[in-house]
Structure 1
Amino acid sequence: MAAQRAQPNAHPGTAEASRPEDQQTSGRRERTVGRALRRLSILALATAAAGLGHAAPATADAVYPIPDGDGFYSAPPDIENFQPGDVMRSRQVPAAGFPGATAWQLLYRSTNSTDAPIGAVTTLLLPPGGGMNRPVVSYQPAVNSLGLQCAPSHTIFNGTMREAPALNVMLARGWAIAVPDHLGPTSAYGAARLGGRLTLDGIRAVKRFGPADLGASPVGMAGYSGGGMATGFAAALAPEYAPELPIVGVAQGGVPMNIGKLALDVGLRRSPMFGLGFAAAMGLEREYPDELHMDRILNPEGFALRDQITNACTDEIIRAGANKDFSDVFYGAMEADETVIRIAHENSIEIYPGVPRAPIYEWHGANDVVSPQLVRDVLGRYCSQGARVQFDLIPDADHGSAIAPGSVNAFNYLSDRFAGIAPPSNC
């Protein structure tokens, strides 16, 4: 869906700067970047490089996805009368792909990044025999997408969720599984703190949902990559945001601990994953529409890429943005301001000061492009403040190949926590 927009104002020399032969302009750009690097944290630089640090024209608007045609997803007009985690609407749905399970979808009240009430959906799978206070795991899939049709509540039953086999493994253990749409009602990919809130409120919802009989259930959380980021943020937020939840264990893997630094890794040079960084900038703009704007510095190729992926799922986003960098889609030099820095910090686990109370199993590939060192740093901070952490660095594994071995360990870890076994720690 094409967005209405004003054409950006070209900066003098901008068109020339993209030409390899214009060494003088390129040199000016490099000196500008150098000054920015000295002046700002790497986090602030990366976020600004995604186009979020520039003043927006008065007519600028975030570009939102096509609304979901299913009225079940629409929040009721009296949403403010509900508390976070209250179930506002529910329905039983066919449990396609999950033999013997019972499936429900719950529309619950949550809170967005500016503290406004929003409606969100979680999908609840109950193994044969119902709930009966059995363990419940909130599983956050990797949803690196901008279209609402990519949300787990859709993909879990139409055969496109790649992590669906993991859900059957957990159901076979007798666990109830909650799968939240953790990008929220606008598919705000990149808004990691929102993902943490939606995860915690989704757990509240399934525990308050009478037909599931999970009110006294112990809770675990799990997720990998983008799902691990929502899981990790939920764990860090829980002591303050949802202290009443009985979270006995958290299993998270491949977690991007700092979205700004990751954006820098995939944006300053050509990368096959550039589209995901660009999509994350779009998602943050959706979540903070009054503060962040991309229109001001998008060049024609940037506008075209934005229009192309506004309603796209992961694979299409990756294909559309493959082997691009910041200079391909943005005008102007890298700049930053206090608002950008604040919002980037709010959505990076590395910066967020909260420390999980629940014990954590964290796994990561030793050769992962998502920095293992940042994971070590964050876990070190958790350990220094009393958290129980088991960190497993998978030898010779990259981001993809670390999934399988770590997942086996993750499910065993959660099983031990549900059994009341004392959590291990290699802090």
Structure 2
Amino acid sequence: MAKGTILRARRVQIAAFGLIRQRDVSAWQLLYVSSDLRGNPEATVTTVLTAKNATPDPNRPLIAFQCAIDAVADQCFPSYALRHGARSFGANPHFEYFMIACLLQRGWAVSVADHEGLDGRFGAPREPGYRGLDGVRAALDFAPLGLDATTRVAIWGYSGGGMAGAWMAEMAATYAGLVATGDTLITGHPVSRMSGPQVLPDDFSCSRDENLATLELLEDLDADLIIPGHGEPWCGPIRKAVLAARRNA
């Protein structure tokens, strides 16, 4: 099965410190396909949250929130610690929930993956990034959220969550088919009348010829989601985006 495929989903009740029900929050837990550090398939969980009864909307930003689990016991995983009835006093997700609540109040959606996996491998390389990225894939495909491939995604993490977030950024290009093109390839600009793949306008580029030549470095990448320096994200094979940028030049 494809990575990020949702195997099961269930509604859950979120509670501060496992005790105080958060009645203004809608939350689900998604069991989805991911990988361990050797690339072997495994299942893991993300908790996805929105404000109560939020209208499904692909324009709603998604925050991939990596909790500072900083433990090997599954009582400290967010999928347990964030739920009503959890007995994990002192677990970091209890305190980080209040940051998550602030994000929800802004109208954003949040995905909180169990980035240490089933065995609680704290500090392991690569696999926290795999689980976080596949959690994003699962959240984007989960119909009640109404998100899609055009949804803006940001990574948040502190301490052990910062390690997991760094691995997400490190593995995104090779594992998730995502590439940040900066200003080498953009999809819009305040002074451009075009929308879609293009190069920077001449007034903002030192050399259009060099810019076009640099597109060759992108052409053969295995990526189908482009995050440009200017403009909206672009979905589709990067080779097509490069061809379109050359035509528009």
TM-score by length of 1: 0.38
The answer for the alignment partner of 1:116 in structure 2 is 40
Structure 2: gaps (5+ residues): 17-21, 183-228, 233-249
Any unmatched runs of 5+ in structure 1? Answer: 1-81, 249-416, 421-427
Residue 37 of structure 2 contacts residue 125 of structure 2 at CA under 8 Å; is this kept in 1? no
- Going from structure 1 to structure 2, the CA distance change for 1:150 and 1:245 (only over 3 Å counts) comes to farther
Distance apart, 1:210 and its partner CA: 1.4
Match of 2:153 in 1: 219
SS in 2 for 1:163: helix
Answer 1 or 2: higher relative contact order, Cα 8 Å, separation at least 6.
Answer: 1
SS of corresponding position for 1:203 = helix
Amino acid paired to 1:93: V
Q: Counterpart of 1:86?
A: 5
- Which letter does structure 1 place at the counterpart of 2:57? M
Distance 1:245 1:94 in 2: 36
Q: List structure 1 runs of 4+ shifted beyond 2 angstroms.
A: 95-99, 157-160, 243-246
1:130 is displaced (CA, Å) by 3.7
Summarize deviations over 1:352-383 as a string: whole Å, max 9, x none.
xxxxxxxxxxxxxxxxxxxxxxxxxxxxxxxx
Deviation of 1:245 (Å): 8.4
- Aligned partner of 1:177 in structure 2 is 110
Q: 2:51 — aligned with what?
A: 127
Which position in structure 2 is the counterpart of 1:408? none
Tell me the CA shift for residue 113 of structure 1: 1.2
* Structure 2 counterpart of 1:238, one-letter code: A
Share of identical aligned residues, percent? 36
- CA-to-partner distance for each residue in 1:25-54, whole Å, 9 max, x for gaps? xxxxxxxxxxxxxxxxxxxxxxxxxxxxxx
State the shift of 1:244 in Å. 4.3
In structure 1, what is the equivalent of residue 176 of structure 2? Answer: 242
Structure 2 residue corresponding to 1:149, chosen from 75, 87, 95: 75
Residue deviations 1:292-331, cap 9 Å, x none?
A: xxxxxxxxxxxxxxxxxxxxxxxxxxxxxxxxxxxxxxxx
1:232 aligns with 2:166: yes
Matches within 5 A, 1:13-412: 82-97=1-16, 98-128=22-52, 129-133=54-58, 134-157=60-83, 158=86, 160=91, 161-215=94-148, 216-244=150-178
Deviation at 1:149, TM superposition (A): 1.7
Instruction: Call closer, same or farther: CA 1:121–1:245 in 2, change over 3 Å.
Output: farther
- Kindly provide the amino acid, as one letter, of the partner of residue 217 in structure 1: T
Structure 1 counterpart of 2:35, one-letter code = T
Superposed CA RMSD: 2.4
CA offsets 1:157-203 (integer angstroms, 9 cap, x no match): 23642211100111111100100000001111111311011000000
Does structure 2 retain, via aligned residues, the 8 Å contact 1:192–1:229? no
Distance in 2, Cα, partners of 1:177 & 1:190: 23
For the structure 1 residues 214 and 229, does the alpha-carbon distance in structure 2 shift closer, same or farther, using more than 3 Å as the test? same
Cα 1:245/1:127, change in 2 over 3 Å: farther
Secondary structure (helix, strand or coil) at the match of 2:2 reads coil
Q: Residue 117 of structure 2: SS of its match in structure 1?
A: coil
Instruction: Letter of the 2:131 partner, please give it.
Output: L
Structure in which a larger fraction of residues adopt strand: 2
Contact 1:140-1:230 at 8 Å conserved across structures: yes
Q: Distance in 1 between matches of 2:134 and 2:95?
A: 24
Q: Read off the aligned partner of 2:157 and give its amino acid letter.
A: G
DSSP-derived class of the 1:122 partner: strand
Secondary structure class of the residue paired with 2:3: coil
Provide, for residues 65-93 of structure 1, a one-character-per-residue CA deviation record: whole Å limited to 9, x for no partner: xxxxxxxxxxxxxxxxx211110110011
Task: Give the match's secondary structure for 1:188.
Answer: coil
SS of the counterpart of 1:162? helix
SS at match of 1:85: coil
The alignment partner of 1:131 has SS state of coil
C-alpha contact (below 8 Å) 2:14/2:82 kept by paired residues: no
TM-score relative to the length of structure 2: 0.63
Distance 1:204 1:149 in 2: 25
Aligned pair count reads 170
Q: Which amino acid aligns with 1:151?
A: F
The structure richer in helix per residue is 1
* Paired letter, 1:234: M
Q: Deviations over 1:108-142 (max 9, x none)?
A: 00011122110000000011324312111010011
Which structure would you say has the larger Rg? 1
